[in-house]
Chains A and B, each alone.
Chain A
Amino acid sequence: MEADAARLIGAGLACFGMIGAGIGLGQIFGSYLSAAIRNPSAAKGQFGTLIFGFAVTEAIGIFSLLIAFLLLFGG
């Protein structure tokens, strides 16, 4: 198999990592929503934690996207 072909296949495989990030993000926002509907007044105070949790979970998905981009466009 040529190196170029292997790179493209690898880039496609690397995108599987974003499955986990998607599930994790759904978990975070889902649990925030269900708790916020039960206790709306306490929800505002935890919004910062929500955004922080979103960002660190999204980062893992972006790490896998980074591998895909490095394989596609890297030198």
Chain B
Amino acid sequence: MAAEAGKQFDPVRQFDIHKMVDIQVGKYDISFTNSSFMMVVAVAAICLFLFLSTTKKSLIPGRFQSLAEISYEFVANMVRSTAGRDGLQFFPFVYAIFMFILFANIFGLIPFFFTTTSHIIVTFALAMMVMVTVLIVGFWKNGFGFLKLFNPSGVPLILKVLLVTPLEIISFISRPLSHSIRLWANMLAGHIMLKLFASFGIAMAVGLSGIFKIGAIAPAIMTIALTPLEILVAFLQAYVFAILTSVYLNDALNPGH
């Protein structure tokens, strides 16, 4: 099915990158692509939403100001509960990451729009930003005491050297990997499934003959049922990315468990 399905039903073509404006600097290709365009759209939408909804600054918020305040409080409570009061200095970072991933994921669900977070390089860049921030903050605040993260208390020395510290180091290095792959795989799998069920519907409607064409309603209903699930997953993945960011920042601010 994969090889000969017919090019128009290929569920992976939706992730192709098309250049919109070709820009070459030396031997580096930094064209403005459909992916960059969707990132700009997401950031513009976030800024518009926040600016326009807080113009009135009323004490009792109207509907849109409520939305902006709810998103702010949601992320602030999350950061405060995982990273403590010191963690609040990273609130702008976590809020930006949460809103960007949320808007990028949701915009990808609109038909004919491109999902930026469905490319591993985008999610890996976000996860590496978090990892580099954690490393810099960890060593800045605690000096070499940051390495206490790999040195849990209450473990006998021989076990620590042989087993626990290598395992802790491996699990620390795998953090950006799992952080980025979780978001990427969720977005990729979700969109492939949507496209697959939609293509089943079209294939059935076109390929079956006569009365059996009504069978195409089944994949269509499945696509309709998948879409709210994908909206939930979009929100959930943004939330999980943000809360894991705060947990890692808490590790940087208070190392040693």
Interface of A toward B, CB cutoff 8 Å: 4, 7-8, 48, 51-52, 54-56, 58-59, 62-63, 65-66, 69, 72-73
A-B pairs with the 9 shortest C-beta distances? A55-B240, A66-B185, A59-B182, A73-B12, A62-B185, A72-B2, A65-B189, A55-B236, A62-B186
25 A–B contacts, CB within 8 A, in A order: A4-B3, A48-B78, A48-B81, A48-B243, A52-B239, A54-B236, A55-B182, A55-B236, A55-B237, A58-B186, A59-B182, A59-B186, A59-B240, A62-B182, A62-B189, A63-B185, A65-B185, A65-B189, A66-B181, A66-B184, A66-B188, A69-B192, A72-B2, A73-B2, A73-B192
In the complex, which range does the number of interface residues on chain B fall in?
20 to 34
Chain B residue with the shortest CB-CB distance to A52: B243
Main DSSP-derived SS at the B contact region: helix
Cβ distance A6 to chain B, nearest Cβ, rounded Å: 13
* A59 and B2 contact, CB distance less than 8 A: no
Q: Does B152 contact A (CB under 8 A)?
A: no
List the B side residues contacting A51 at CB < 8 Å: 236, 239
Q: Does B171 contact A (CB under 8 A)?
A: no
Q: Does B178 contact A (CB under 8 A)?
A: yes
Give complex CA distance A55, B189 in Å: 15
Cβ distance B242 to chain A, nearest Cβ, rounded Å: 10
